[in-house]
Chains A and B, each alone.
Chain A
Amino acid sequence: MNPDGASRILFSREGEFTPALEEALFSELRLAVESGALPKNAVRIAIEMVQNLRLHGGGGGHFTIRSDAASLILESANSLPQAAAEELVARIRALPRGSDAAQAARKRRRETLPPGAKGAGLGLLEIAHLAGEMEAVAQPLSGGNSLLVIRAILQHTLRA
């Protein structure tokens, strides 16, 4: 930790998230978990966030992992049409948390998906399950878009 309590960037990437980049990120994070520098849940949250950026964020966005005195913060950000961003923010704020999110994910896993579905809709529930806190905001941009920022916060004391 920094002595002044300021946050420290552990990983930051802005741009397109390709499968190759995802593999490199996964390997790097797994090494950090093995060395004890990151909790295991951080890898699971990171993969879900990056895959959401790739599948639903037009392939790109911004993904950051930073640490401060109390917590580890994983954050994704991508531009979306304002209405879509606001709808997602409302959806994320309404998600169950913790073990309730895990139960909801288990139930959804058993449901049949509509043809052509890009995902199972389980990624956000996984983040809500694993993160101590989960936040979402839509920051207005020019041109009718908003920046959707999703933040998962793991308390250092909650290391998995």
Chain B
Amino acid sequence: MTDLELLPTGSTPRILLPGTAADGWIEGNCYPENAFAFFEPAMAWLREYRKASGRRLTLNVKLDYFNTSSSKCLLDLFSSLQDAKAEGGEMRIVWHYCQDDYDMRESGEEFAQDLKIPFELRPY
């Protein structure tokens, strides 16, 4: 399983999904021109990852801003991780938010409520 790394731009986050057991990251701003196309490589990576053995992934999400299309894609991505956990993997999500950013905390809380996967809210 190879790493997936997408470098950040002004409107898209850095995405790192590691092939070996390590932390994954999504960080930056997220309002891509086409959110579904932008997230497709990450979705494809996860589809392959779910076929591998010994899966263990902590996905750290640290976003400054994301638009509504991206919120849909993030939920789809998290749901795929949830499926991987149901299939026997060790999956968890850490949602980092600036302690002054009420909206980002609330978004994390909503994701946590909508998912059945360990989901930690971590202020910074």
Contacts and interface: CB of A to CB of B under 8 A. Distances in A.
B41 to A, nearest CB: 18
B80 interface: no
Among B29, B36, B69, B110, residue most surrounded by chain A Cβ atoms (within 10 Å): B69
A40 interface: yes
B68 A22 contact: no
Contacts of A40: 103
Contacts of B11: 19, 22-23, 26
A120 B114 contact: no
Q: How large is the interface on A (under 10, 10 to 19, 20 to 34, 35 or more residues)?
A: 20 to 34
Q: How large is the interface on B (under 10, 10 to 19, 20 to 34, 35 or more residues)?
A: 10 to 19
Given A22-B31, A47-B31, A119 B103 contact: no
Interface in A113-160: 113, 117-120, 122-123, 125-126, 160
A48 B68 contact: yes
B20 interface: no
Nearest to B32: A19
13 contacts: A19-B11, A22-B33, A26-B29, A26-B31, A27-B10, A30-B65, A43-B65, A47-B65, A109-B71, A109-B75, A122-B72, A123-B67, A123-B68
Given A26-B29, A113-B72, 5 more contacts: A26-B11, A47-B65, A105-B68, A106-B110, A126-B68
Contact of A120 (B9, B33, B72, B110): B72
A48 B67 CA distance: 7
B33 A122 contact: no
Given A26-B10, A110-B75, A19 B69 contact: no
Contacts of A22: 11, 31, 33
Contacts of B72: 109, 113, 120, 122
A106 B114 contact: yes
Interface string B18-43: 00000000000101011110000000
Contacts of A105: 68
Nearest to A119: B69
Among A30, A119, A160, residue most surrounded by chain B Cβ atoms (within 10 Å): A119
Contacts of A27: 10
Among B31, B33, B68, B114, residue most surrounded by chain A Cβ atoms (within 10 Å): B68
Nearest to B101: A40
Contact of B31 (A51, A110, A113, A118): A51
Contacts of B68: 48, 105, 119-120, 122-123, 125-126
A122 B69 contact: yes
Given A47-B67, A109-B72, A117 B31 contact: no
